[in-house]
Amino acid sequence: MAAHVLHLTATELARRLRIGDIGAVELTRAALERIEAVNPALNAFCLLVPERALAQAAEIDARRLRGEALGPLAGLPVALKDYTPTAGLRTTYGSRLFADHVPARDAVIARRLAAAGGVLVGKTTTPEFADSWFTRGAQFGVTRNPWDPSRTPGGSSGGSAVAVATGCVALAEGCDMAGSIRGPASFCGIVGLKPSLGRIPFDALPTTFDDISHFGPVARTVNDAALFLSAVAGPDPVDLFSYLPPLDLSLPVEVEPSRLKLAFSRDLGFCAVDPQVEREVLATVEALRAAGATVEEVDLGWRAEDAEAFFTATLVWMAALYGEAYDRDGDRMEPLTRRLIEMGRQVDGVTLKRLDFVRAGIWHKLAAVLADRDALICPTMAQPAPGLDKGDFDYGHRTADGRLATLDMTALFNLIGACPALSVPAGRTDGGLPVGLQIVGRPHDEASVLRVGRAVELVRPQPSAPLPPAPLPPDTARTA
């Protein structure tokens, strides 16, 4: 098979697989060949399972020939993040502490992707415990941005974003605790969805009461993200939050831009946004207006202190989850992980509980904005993809005028997790780096954010990611 089919959308590939125009085995082989070309330079995958993938693909082809019913993703190459439990397959959480860890069970999302016919080709890189905007670490090295390998693809679902952007897989899974799907999607010029809390049962952690974490799709288009979501959504006892109103979603996603009524914030009220990011987002806003959409700039009334409170909460989360591992084997943890745990242990319970007041405040203000609008739109990330010489603590300080020099504009929407949030491509900087537009909807209303995302695709289409670059020299492929 000519590798050019790998640039097709998951939706189109699924159609061709369904009618037999493409075979699952030949598509899987093409995907594995693409991975072989891409991975030495960009390091998207930390585990490949080619024999398993080809066997699964052969079974799908055989079932199709027998006329059996097949799932909506039948034959599509897919990837799972190295944070997501997979029975019988190594899952390290990006950490040397779990270098040989093989779970006994699949996460619900892994089971449902397989049941829908997705062909798992491998697992994608993530920073240790999925808690960095830079996908790198001693366990698997540095993952690089396909638009500029000297820059990060973002984190923590950086490997998944690179795998999709470069055509290695049709769809990939990510998890999002502060923007870990949306950020890499923005930096890599693709689509990433944080669904409503519980829409896809989340069972990667030892609790059913985590209320900021989401599984979601990393995809090339809005319709591809919708296809993924429709295949895996639904309640399961592993996640109490998953008992939601049924997903109301029709495929393909259709929209009339002139009927949209949107709120717009260029900075959430407190973020220092890169001028080129702002320029591209404003150009997308004007394209929506030119297509007849109503887009009104609003003042959310949010403060930098709200984002800082969320960061404090993530420190406690890290200390609670990984503090025992720190005490037992902390010298083998990444320096960033150790620093976050140490800071989290300094936060008292009263300070942590006050976060609930922050959450209530940001929700009440957003609820008023969304009361008569389809969605809120804003930049996904405040900056373009940083260089690999940067780190997480280069961001988050205050500027001279009191604004927050943040990297992301995603995390606060995890505090109000019932609201789905989508990142779609919305332009490029002068240097060719992608810019993402974030679309935030009413609680449990994925359909609306997907419609707005589809409208953005229609009014301001963006180019696909470049072909895989030539492999970097061995001494630079795994280091910053």
Q: What is the pLDDT of residues 226-261, one digit of tens each?
A: 999 999 999 999 999 999 999 999 999 999 999 999
3-state secondary structure of 16: helix
| Confidence band, pLDDT 50/70/90 cuts, at residue 134 | very high
Cβ pair 153, 146 in contact under 8 A: yes
Compute the distance between CA of residue 95 and CA of residue 118 in angstroms, rounded to an integer.
27
Q: What is the pLDDT of residues 297-327, one digit of tens each?
A: 999 999 999 999 999 989 999 999 999 999 9
Helix, strand, coil tally for the chain in percent (to 5): 40, 15, 45
| Confidence band, pLDDT 50/70/90 cuts, at residue 207 | confident
3-state secondary structure of 163: helix
| pTM for the predicted model, two decimal places | 0.96
Compute the distance between CA of residue 459 and CA of residue 286 in angstroms, rounded to an integer.
10
- Mean pLDDT confidence for 132-158: 97
Q: Out of 121-130, 142-151, 202-211, which region has the weakest mean confidence (pLDDT)?
A: 202-211
Given a cut of 90, whether residue 121 has pLDDT beyond it is: yes
Compute the distance between CA of residue 34 and CA of residue 65 in angstroms, rounded to an integer.
27
Compute the distance between CA of residue 277 and CA of residue 192 in angstroms, rounded to an integer.
18
3-state SS track over 176-234: ECCCCCHHHHHHHCCEEEECCCCCCCCCCCCCCCCCCCEEEEEECCHHHHHHHHHHHCC
CA 57 from chain centre, in angstroms, equals: 26
| Confidence band, pLDDT 50/70/90 cuts, at residue 473 | very low
The pairing of strands 77-81 and 119-124 is parallel
Question: For residues 112-149, b (16+ Cβ closer than 10 Å) or e, as one string?
Answer: bbbebbbbbbbbbbbbbbbbbbbbbbebbbbbbbbbbb
Q: Which residues contact 194 (CB under 8 A, 6 or more apart)?
A: 176, 179, 181, 182, 214, 216, 410, 413, 414, 417, 420, 421, 422
**DSSP string over 400-420:** TTS-EE-SBS-THHHHTTTS-
- Say how many residues make up the chain: 480
DSSP run (H or E) holding 327: helix 304-329
φ/ψ region of 388 (left if φ > 0, alpha if ψ in -120 to 50, else beta) reads alpha
Amino acid at the residue 186: S
- Partnered with residue 436 across adjacent β-strands are 425
Residues that are catalytic: 81, 156, 180
Cβ pair 458, 223 in contact under 8 A: no
Q: What is the pLDDT of residues 397-438, one digit of tens each?
A: 999 999 999 999 999 999 999 999 999 999 999 999 999 999
Count the neighbouring beta carbons within 10 Å of the beta carbon of residue 295: 18
Compute the distance between CA of residue 456 and CA of residue 77 in angstroms, rounded to an integer.
26
3-state secondary structure of 141: strand
- Partnered with residue 438 across adjacent β-strands are 378, 423
Cβ pair 407, 133 in contact under 8 A: yes
3-state secondary structure of 36: helix
φ/ψ region of 133 (left if φ > 0, alpha if ψ in -120 to 50, else beta) reads alpha
